[in-house]
Copies of this chain bind each other. A is one copy, B any other.
Amino acid sequence: MTSSELFQKIQQKQSFLCVGLDSDLAKLPGHLKSCEDPVFEFNKQIIDATHQYTVAYKPNIAFYESRGVEGWLSLQKTLDYLRKVDPELFVIADAKRGDIGNTSSMYAKAFFETMDFDAITVAPYMGVDSVGPFLEYKGKWVIMLALTSNKGADDFQFLRDPNSGDRLFERVLRKGMEWGSKDTLMFVAGATRAEMLADLRKIVPEYFLLVPGVGAQGGSLQEVAKYGMNEQCGLLVNSSRGIIFADKSENFANVAAAKAKEIKNEMTVLLNEKGIV
């Protein structure tokens, strides 16, 4: 999928919502726990209820990996189900991988061959050869951490280079642009620092940004659009807990649908205001 194709999907659905499948077994509605695979059953119902409002899903790999082999089986079934429901959904493995070249090649194989994700989140600390192997897959995307939404972002990401004046997250953007293109690379930029998206846009005006942190983490969708939206939208905004765990009764999927619809409707307004739907 190219960035233009992704933009077309956003226009068609009038939404740039990504639903995060942080499907923590311990937090599932009680009535699902007797199912053979409660996590898959939960994901399936969430997907059925929300896919008309979304362009993307983002399984958070930690929540599957923590359950060992069973978790990986739930993940594969979830991916298969997403492909069945709508082959054009953009599916992101939120895995934050990254290692030396021959090892990153193996991670790329895991998420782009063994499993058929469209994109994977990657940590930049180890530099070019840790990211490059993921970029070798045609039609696949790397989503590199730049400015994250968590407290610990302050520890390293704002370190400023005295020569260029760039902060670490800005150097990550510049290096990323050397390694990939706007059709192969996106950046993670947290919604809890929405006004900073303007700083990112100075460096990467045309790239897609994956924005976590709206909802449970406190970020505002309006602020994200104000500072981060470009002429081709250029945003995928993720919400996880605010949708999937909005309700824990037998009615959870309906409540998730209502929450996703609410965000989608806000997004439609924002896209209209920008004049791109």
A interface, CB within 8 angstroms of B = 22, 24, 60, 62-63, 65-69, 72-73, 76, 94, 96-104, 106-107, 109-110, 113-115, 123-131, 145, 148-157, 159-162, 168, 171-172, 175
Q: List 24 A-B contacts (CB under 8 A).
A: A22-B102, A22-B103, A60-B103, A62-B107, A67-B110, A68-B76, A68-B115, A96-B123, A98-B123, A100-B148, A100-B149, A124-B125, A124-B155, A124-B156, A125-B148, A126-B148, A126-B150, A127-B151, A128-B155, A129-B150, A129-B151, A156-B175, A159-B161, A162-B162
Assembled-state Cα–Cα distance A155/B177 (Å): 13
Find the B residue at minimum CB distance from A97.
B96
- Asked if A152 and B168 make an inter-chain contact with CB atoms under 8 angstroms apart, the answer reads no
Q: Which residues of B contact A106 (CB under 8 A)?
A: 24, 60, 62-63, 65-66
Other A-B pairs, 17, CB within 8 Å; known A68-B114, A128-B152, A160-B162: A22-B103, A60-B103, A62-B104, A66-B106, A66-B113, A67-B110, A68-B110, A68-B115, A96-B98, A96-B126, A100-B149, A123-B125, A126-B145, A126-B150, A127-B153, A127-B157, A129-B150
Find the B residue at minimum CB distance from A129.
B152
Residue of B22, B65, B109 near A110 (CB, 8 A) is B65
Assembled-state Cα–Cα distance A239/B127 (Å): 22
* Known contacts A63-B106, A96-B98, A162-B162; A157 and B68 CB within 8 A of each other: no
Residue of B107, B128, B168 near A66 (CB, 8 A) is B107
Assembled-state Cα–Cα distance A80/B124 (Å): 33
- The distance from the CB of A120 to the nearest CB of chain B, in whole angstroms, is 12
Assembled-state Cα–Cα distance A114/B70 (Å): 11
- Asked if A62 and B101 make an inter-chain contact with CB atoms under 8 angstroms apart, the answer reads no
- The distance from the CB of A88 to the nearest CB of chain B, in whole angstroms, is 24
Interface centre among A97, A100, A151 (most CB of B within 10 A): A100
Q: Which residues of B contact A149 (CB under 8 A)?
A: 100
